[in-house]
Amino acid sequence: MKTTEDFCRVKLMAGPTPMYKLENVSRVLGKNIWIKRDDMTGVALGGNKVRKLEFLLADAVRKGAKTVLTTGGAQSNHAMLTAACCMRLGLKPVLLLKKRGVSDRRGNLLLSRLMGTDVRFVDTDSFEEINAMMDEIGRKTGEPYYTIPVGGSVPLGALGYVDCVHEMSVQAAERGVHIDRIVCATGSGGTHAGLALGAMLYMPGTKVTGMAVDTQEFDRIVPGIMRGTAELLGLEAKTDCEVGLRPAYGPGYALPSDEGSEAIRLMARCEGIFLDPVYTGKAFAGLIEMVRSGSLEQEENILFLFTGGAGGLFAIDFD
Ligand SMILES: *Cc1c(COP(=O)(O)O)cnc(C)c1O
């Protein structure tokens, strides 16, 4: 078996991200709630995509790419973070963002503009079409280019979260705590897949629950990425893995939900931490719901993976 150390990687993170118990939230919810601060991954406003990009952009550099193309929704954190990481590495980012939902140039669009990023809006919802457009634009540059599918949720990117579980297993051991369950937001599936595979390897006995913030078929997508990542690592591909998934999309992807907004307020008022409306607010709302409905009865320690997304807070009207 290989480990993540056997893969090419560019260093973008400042070091391990903090992991600690949320004392006030734990008191309010009557459970031990821990947090892993992947909003502090050290590039731009932080977020989970940096861990994936350490592997993906290393692959781009190794292949001699000059231009890196990626895609996402109008307020994609992934696209903005890809651009920011490209700034560090001297690569030229091109972002093809879905036109739907663009109402102004706030949030992540403002940040991309500050970086002078080539942002193009595309009038389609099909990532297949967008992937073809990325190739066409890449080919026209006449130089080697690299494309990253939505969210960086490909097997190579998911290695970032296999590695994150290893990091958390060390931190949990240092703190003398057994984590019963990790909860994350599932948006394109790579984070969830990496965590689930990482838990099998480094934190057996820890469950992973992904809160689906979109209506895609994650019960098919997540195991698919897991199998691809397992193959990269030379592991037996597990086809029978149990994927913990719960719906948390509310009215739909990127549309704020009442439960999500309540979770954002709770975290802000208890801990001075700002969740985002698209991913982490909804995921934390799902965790609160699990606590309140008694589904976590036997579990002592729940870890919430805070995957970032601050830019999104400044792109919505919030009251
Ligand atoms: C992309 C993203 C997620 C979801 O991660 P996936 O690997 O795409 O499922 C969660 N939180 C934030 C803030 C994100 O930007």
Domains in the chain: boundaries = 4-47+154-315, 49-151
Any atom of ligand 1 within 6 Å of the Cβ of 275: no
Ligand 1 centroid to 135 CA: how many Å? 24
pTM: 0.97
Average pLDDT over residues 101-127: 92
Read off the pLDDT of each residue in 14-35 and give the average, rounded to a whole number.
97
pLDDT at residue 65, rounded to an integer: 98
Instruction: Assign residue 294 a region (left: φ > 0; alpha: ψ between -120 and 50; beta: otherwise).
Output: left
Q: Give the mutation target among 35, 37, 48, 216 for probing the ligand 1 site: most ligand atoms within 8 A of CB.
A: 48
The chain-wide mean pLDDT, for the chain, equals 95
d(CA 92, CA 225): 27
DSSP state of 236: P
The pLDDT tens digits for 40-70 are: 999 999 999 999 999 999 999 999 999 999 9
At residue 180, the pLDDT reads: 98
Q: Which residue carries 């190579």 as its tokens? A: 156
Query: Does residue 10 carry a pLDDT above 60?
Result: yes
Do 4-47+154-315 and 49-151 share a fold?
yes
CATH of 4-47+154-315 among 3.40.50.720, 3.30.1330.40, 3.40.50.1100, 3.90.950.10: 3.40.50.1100
In the chain, count H helices and then E strands. Answer: 11, 10
Buried b (16+ CB within 10 A) or exposed e, 203-236: beebbbbbbbbbebebeebbbbbbbbbbebbebe
> pLDDT tens digits, residue range 242-301?
789 999 999 999 999 999 999 999 999 999 999 999 999 999 999 999 999 999 988 999
Rounded Cα–Cα distance for residues 82 and 131 (Å): 16
Helix segments in 115-242, DSSP class H:
127-140, 155-175, 190-202, 218-232
pLDDT in the model for residue 240? 59
Protein residue with least CA distance to atom 4, ligand 1: 187
pLDDT for the residue numbered 137: 98
Q: Is 72 in the pocket of ligand 1 (CB under 6 A)?
A: no
Distance CA 308, CA 99 (A): 23
Q: Which of 209, 279, 282, 284 should be mutated for ligand 1, with most atoms under 8 A from CB?
A: 279
Q: How confident is the model at residue 79 (pLDDT cuts 50, 70, 90)?
A: very high
How do residues 177-221 score in pLDDT, each as one tens digit?
999 999 999 999 999 999 999 999 999 999 999 999 999 999 999
Confidence at residue 273, expressed as pLDDT on a 0 to 100 scale = 98
What CATH number does domain 49-151 carry, 3.30.413.10, 3.40.50.1100, 3.40.50.720, 3.40.50.170?
3.40.50.1100
Alpha helices in the chain (DSSP H): 23-29, 49-62, 77-89, 107-114, 127-140, 155-175, 190-202, 218-232, 258-271, 280-292, 310-313
Judge whether residue 15 has pLDDT over 70.
yes
Q: Measuring CA to CA, which residue among 94, 97, 100 is closest to residue 130?
A: 97
pLDDT at 166 over 80: yes
- Is there a catalytic annotation at residue 169? no
Q: Is the distance from the beta carbon of residue 276 to the nearest atom of ligand 1 less than 6 Å?
A: yes
Indicate the DSSP class of residue 17: P
What pLDDT, on the 0 to 100 scale, is given for residue 241? 64
Local confidence band at 164 (pLDDT 50, 70, 90 cut-offs): very high
Cβ of 78 below 6 Å from ligand 1: yes
Active site residue: 26, 76, 126, 169, which one?
Answer: 76
Nearest CA to 187 out of 226, 148, 151 is that of 151
